[in-house]
Structure 1
Amino acid sequence: MNWSELERHFSAARLGRYYRFFGQDADKAAEAYAHNLLLAEAMIPMLNVLEIALRNGINTRLSKHYGRIDWWEAWLGAAEFNWQNKEIANTKAKLARKKDVLSADKIVAELTFGFWTSLFNTTFQAILWKDLRLVFPCCPKSIRQRHTISSALNQARDLRNRVFHHEPLLWLAPALIEQYTASEEIISWLDPQLSAWGWLNTTECAWCG
């Protein structure tokens, strides 16, 4: 498939960065775009493990804290949770449109990664952090601070969004391998044994540096 056809399918705007980076060498740009697809695919197992384990860990802690499986209902009317309450309302509406079961488990599964990472914002230092720090039992106490966890999760969220929105991964700063390693570290804070589930053999990946 020639370059003009690739641009027709993937758009000139999307492919332009690859084309410019390789000095308008269409063959190299096309190869880089293909490698970017493989890199995105390689990130998915780790991101899957991180997102699911994180939300389930948070769900467990907050269920215990509030003494109910639908712990978010305790936030109704609380101004500090306005954004979270809107996200929950949107999730309920989405499930209703699909005629899906409106259960606590379904709501937890449908809430976005951004929702879960938002619970580590400064706003919730005094409200949630005492319980949410227990989501990371294997994080060294010297770095198990809300701001450290929040920063790490926000970087992982940005990486996740780039992967799932099909954005370039080849020119990230910090580099992709550093971001991957940082996200793997978060998983190890949850449980070191989980790391094997999202493992990427970086020695076999020529584009990971």
Structure 2
Amino acid sequence: MNWNDLKKHFSPARLGRYRAARGGDVGRAAADYASNVLLSEAMVPMLNVLEIALRNGIHARLSRLYGRADWWEAWAGDPAFTWQNKEVGSAKAKLIRRHEPQTPDKVLAELTFGFWTSLFNVQFQAVLWKDLRLVFARCPKPQRQRHNISAALNRIRDLRNRIFHHEPLLWLIPTLLEQHQTGVTVINWVDPELGQWLGNHDRLPAVWADWTSRP
């Protein structure tokens, strides 16, 4: 497919940055666009493992803290959790539209990554952090501070949103590879064996090396 065909399907505005980065060389720009697609794909395993492990770890800790599997119901009417309650309501509404039961497992699966990362915000330091820090049992104690965890999760959330909105990944600062490593580090804070398992399925470093080795 030639450059004009790509522009027809992907828009001149979307492809313009790739062309500018290659000084107008449309052949190299088209190759970069393809590489961006492959890099987006290669990021999915890390994001998948991190999000699912994070939400299940949080679920385990908060179920124990509140003594119930639907721990979010303990927040009903609490103004400190107004946004979180709204997100839970949206999750339940989706299940109702699909005629699915509102079981704890179903609600958990519908909650967004933004919901999970929000639980590490500063306003929940006194309420949740003592329990949620245990999700990251293998994080070195000097680093296991709420602000460190929150910052890392928010960087990953921003990257996740960029990927799922199909934005360029080639010129990020820090680089995509460095941001990917942040996600791997957080996974290892949860469980190093999980990080090792991911390593057996994670193609991002190889795909990144392939792109960066090109002229």
TM value normalised by structure 2 = 0.94
Aligned position for 1:159 = 159
Residue equivalent to 1:193: 193
Find the counterpart in structure 1 of residue 115 from structure 2.
115
- Equivalences for 1:26-175 in 2 at 5 Å? 26-175=26-175
Give per-residue Cα distances to partners, 1:2-58, cap 9 Å, x unaligned: 212111111112111101111111111110000011111111001100000000000
Offset of residue 208 of structure 1: 5.9
SS in 2 for 1:207: helix
Unaligned runs of 5+ in 1: none
| C-alpha distance after superposition, 1:86-132 (max 9, x if no partner) | 00001100111111121110000110000000000001000100000
Q: Distance in 1 between matches of 2:121 and 2:211?
A: 33
Shift, 1:196, TM fit: 2.8
- State the 1:143 CA deviation: 0.6
Structure 2 residue matching 1:169: 3-state secondary structure: coil
Query: What residue identity is the alignment partner of 1:27?
Result: G
Bigger Cα displacement from structure 2, 119-128 vs 96-105? 96-105
| Aligned mates of 1:49, 1:163 — CA distance in 2 | 16
- Equivalenced residue count is 209
Deviation string, structure 1 residues 40-85 (Cα, Å, up to 9, x no partner): 1111001100000000000000000000000000001111101000
- Whether contact under 8 Å (1:120, 1:149) holds in the other structure is yes
Aligned pairs (5 A) from 1:198-209: 198-199=198-199, 200=202, 202-203=205-206, 205-207=209-211
Matched residue, 1:182:
182
CA displacement at 1:203 relative to structure 2: 4.8
C-alpha separation in 2, matches of 1:100 and 1:10: 36
For normalisation by structure 1, the TM-score amounts to: 0.96
How far 1:197 sits from its partner (Å)? 3.4
Of residues 68-77 and 155-164 in structure 1, the stretch that sits farther from structure 2 once superposed is 155-164
Structure 1: 4+ residue segments shifted above 6 A: none
C-alpha RMSD of the superposition: 1.3
Partner of 2:16: helix, strand, or coil? helix
> Residues 208 and 147 of structure 1: is their aligned pair in 2 closer, same or farther, counting only changes over 3 Å?
farther
Runs (5+) with no aligned partner, structure 2:
none
C-alpha distance in 1, partners of 2:9/2:130? 50
Residue deviations 1:173-196 (CA, integer Å, cap 9, x gap)? 111111011110000000001113
What is the alpha-carbon distance in structure 2 between the residues aligned to residue 191 and residue 36 of structure 1?
30
Distance in 1 (alpha carbons) for counterparts of 2:77 and 2:11 = 45
Q: Residue type of the partner of 1:192? A: P
AA aligned opposite 1:153:
L
